[in-house]
Amino acid sequence: MPTTILKMEKSIIIESKIENINKIEKIIDEVSEEAKINSEIYGKVLIATVEAVNNAIVHGNKEDESKNVKIDFQIDEDYISIFIEDEGPGFNFYNVPDPTTPENIENISGRGVYLMKHLADDVIFHGRGNKVEVRFNLR
């Protein structure tokens, strides 16, 4: 089996403040440009990653500015994987309500995981649910 060679790795750690999401948008722009990611994939990466970071800040770390969110980007010839990890207790990722059902349709929150799963090629929750990987096929 051939070994996959990483083309690029980047990491950023931010405090749990909503306004720090603009730092994530900026690094996604940089990563996309360096890795020559096409505009269709770029849009999906941007929205899914911003949703995951927002969830980490709001739901994971409860907007506690003393807690951080770590975002790691790994790009190889086939995939871009983004890992988002917060310092919260995690959650039961097997039991996320469907925001499209009639009883949930008017809820203000609850669309982040749904969006991530519909935009990314793969969404993997690690450990206790405080670390998520969103993966996108580049081919």
Q: What is the pLDDT of residues 1-48, one digit of tens each?
A: 556 677 899 999 999 999 999 999 999 999 999 999 999 999 999 999
Q: Write out the two tokens for 6.
A: 């990483």
- For residue 46, the enclosing domain spans 7-137
CB count within 10 Å of CB 99 equals 16
Residue 33: what residue type?
A: E
CB-CB contact of 76 with 4 (8 Å): yes
Q: Which DSSP symbol is given to 41?
A: H
Task: Please count the CA atoms within 13 angstroms of the CA of 89 that sit on its side-chain side.
Answer: 3
pTM attached to this predicted model: 0.92
- Domain of 104: which CATH number? 3.30.565.10
- Element spanning 25, H or E: helix 21-35
Q: Is residue 107 part of a domain?
A: yes
For the chain, what is the domain count?
1
Tell me phi and psi for residue 27, to 5 degrees: -70, -30
Q: Is residue 1 part of a domain?
A: no
